[in-house]
Amino acid sequence: MQRLTNTPFDRLEIGMHAEQRRLCLLDDLYVFANASGNLNPMHLPKADGDGDGTPEAVAPSMWVAAALSAVLGNYLPGPGTLYKNLSIEFVGRAHAGEEIVASVRLAEKLPGRVARFEARVDHGDGTPIAHGFAEVIAPERELSFDASDVPGLTVRRHAHFESLLEKAEPLEPIPTAVVAPEEANSLGGALLAARHTLIVPILIGDRAKILAAAAELGEDISGLTLIDVADHAKAAEQAVALVAQGRAMALMKGLLHTDELLHAAFRREGGLRTKRRASHVFVMDVPGLDHLLMVSDAAINIAPTLEEKVDIVQNAIDLSHALGIELPRVGILSAVETVNAKIPSTLDAAALSKMADRGQIKGGLVDGPLAMDNAVNMGAAKTKGIKSLVAGQAEVLIVPNLEAGNMLAKELTFLAHAEAAGIVVGLRCPVILTSRADNEKARLASCAVAALYAEWGRGR
């Protein structure tokens, strides 16, 4: 924001005018709801406040009036101004996505440095929303203020996951072998994905435990296929066999250890291996970031070799394509952004970058080594003098090893309030690895990612 300068009371002249245009954003409605405590569903973007089946997203009238406060406090009279009285009539409504214009015109100067303004708020096309009068105590002396130090706000909203669900729900649901959904969380996640038409669950596990979990949830699962296999290792093998038979197009982890499920999937005989190394990709919706962020590999490959990293990068690029990112920007991470023979990950990063230039890795822009800051922040990249199509705007982050990836993903989740979905790719089908700690949105997003990836694979 620019430096703000005021007009003291003795310099105010009748007829002086100021205005400010702004777009009403969905985030504005969330911020106002939290700041004011007004949780009226008429004003919340995803809520249906009047029961007509459609969210209204009406801008609160006091939010509209606050636009006048911004004009008076920022421009005329400007810094040092205090409200005395506001009389306003609302004759229209503003909604998220619409531009509004708040304007004031000085009508009268009164004793005690009171300035009376005609005040109005209109739509961008001039249609009135509100009009009235505002009386303020104008500043006595000239003052300027640098507003650059005012803290910004990041709304913890996960719009990217919502977009994934919108893309995936119209697709044909994928038959998914759900292994050991033997408690409420794991079974509930599968049933939730089924209600959103993302998957058709095939339940494999201890029949009695699965039925008990369904009873706990109050769900009727009589219409679903349920294969009674009490042993978890054998249940995982049965799930893999269903994929081999063409009866399932994805695997989903339930109440069993991840290594039990992946052991069956990775078997050389009768497993789901392909010529490519399998890897896990976290798909993360980070508040404040204007795109999805992928992190790989944080769950399977502990200390991958250069050859294995080639597959990890290609897997992540392929998943990016499946999610609608035509030319993903891939940052190969290390501790520094320069090649250093004493830091092996920088050598791998440089090699991967050159391999992409030579067509050995296809479908994305790959650059490295990059440190975390200059991979995702344009200012940091410019400060370091890095000229790159990836630096500062990476959509995929390839970590040097599992430890780094696991820490990065958890830091984003618990410190940056990101939501994390994740699947295993590079096998004959996607494997959905959900955790009991995942909330409903993360579970749904993982299933949506798997559905989109499976659909992309069908078209190849």
Return the CATH number at 30. 3.10.129.10
Q: What is the mean pLDDT of residues 165-183?
A: 93
Residue 69 in any domain: the answer is: yes
> By residue range, what is the domain housing residue 198?
160-273+452-460
What confidence score (pLDDT) does residue 187 get?
Answer: 92
Residue 446 in any domain: the answer is: no
What confidence score (pLDDT) does residue 398 get?
Answer: 98
Query: Which range (41-55, 65-79, 444-458) has the least confidence?
Result: 41-55
Q: What is the mean pLDDT of residues 110-115?
A: 95
Q: Could you say which DSSP state residue 14 is in?
A: T
172 and 140 within one domain: no
Decide if pLDDT at 1 tops 60.
no
367 and 415 within one domain: yes
Report how many domains make up the chain.
3
Decide if pLDDT at 440 tops 80.
no
Which residue do the tokens 């994928």 mark? 174
* Cis? peptide before 430, omega within 30° of 0: no
Q: State the sign of the Cα–Cα–Cα–Cα dihedral 281, 282, 283, 286.
A: negative
Residue 293 in any domain: the answer is: yes
Residue 443 in any domain: the answer is: no
Q: CATH number of the domain that 294 lies in?
A: 3.40.718.10
Residue 305: exposure state from Cβ atoms within 10 A (0-12, 13-18, ≥19): exposed
DSSP string computed for 366-407 = EEEEE-HHHHH-HHHHHHTT---SSTT--SEEE-SSHHHHHH
260 and 400 within one domain: no
210 and 336 within one domain: no
281 and 269 within one domain: no
What confidence score (pLDDT) does residue 459 get?
Answer: 64
350 and 416 within one domain: yes
Using CA atoms, how far apart are residues 360 and 268, in angstroms rounded to an integer?
A: 26
**pTM: predicted TM-score of the whole model, two decimal places:** 0.80
DSSP string computed for 165-195 = HHHHTTSPPEEEEEE---SHHHHHHHHHHHH
Q: What is the mean pLDDT of residues 297-322?
A: 96
| Per-chain mean pLDDT for the chain | 92
Q: CATH number of the domain that 459 lies in?
A: 3.40.50.10950
406 and 291 within one domain: yes
281 and 263 within one domain: no
Residue 445 in any domain: the answer is: no
Which contacts (CB < 8 Å, 24+ apart) does range 207-214 have? 209/182, 209/183, 210/181, 210/182, 213/181, 213/182, 213/183, 213/184, 213/186, 213/187, 213/188, 214/187
What confidence score (pLDDT) does residue 405 get?
Answer: 95
Question: Considering 93, 127, 149, which residue would you say is the last residue of a domain?
Answer: 149
- Phi, psi dihedral angles at 337 (to 5 degrees): -105, 10
Task: Please name every residue paired with 253 in a beta bridge, in sequence order, or none if there are none.
Answer: 179
Predicted confidence (pLDDT) per residue in 336-348, tens digit: 999 999 999 999 9
298 and 195 within one domain: no
* Cis? peptide before 55, omega within 30° of 0: no
Residue 438 in any domain: the answer is: no
381 and 304 within one domain: yes
Question: Considering 149, 168, 195, which residue would you say is the last residue of a domain?
Answer: 149
Decide if pLDDT at 156 tops 60.
yes
102 and 121 within one domain: yes
Question: Considering 118, 149, 180, which residue would you say is the last residue of a domain?
Answer: 149
79 and 26 within one domain: yes
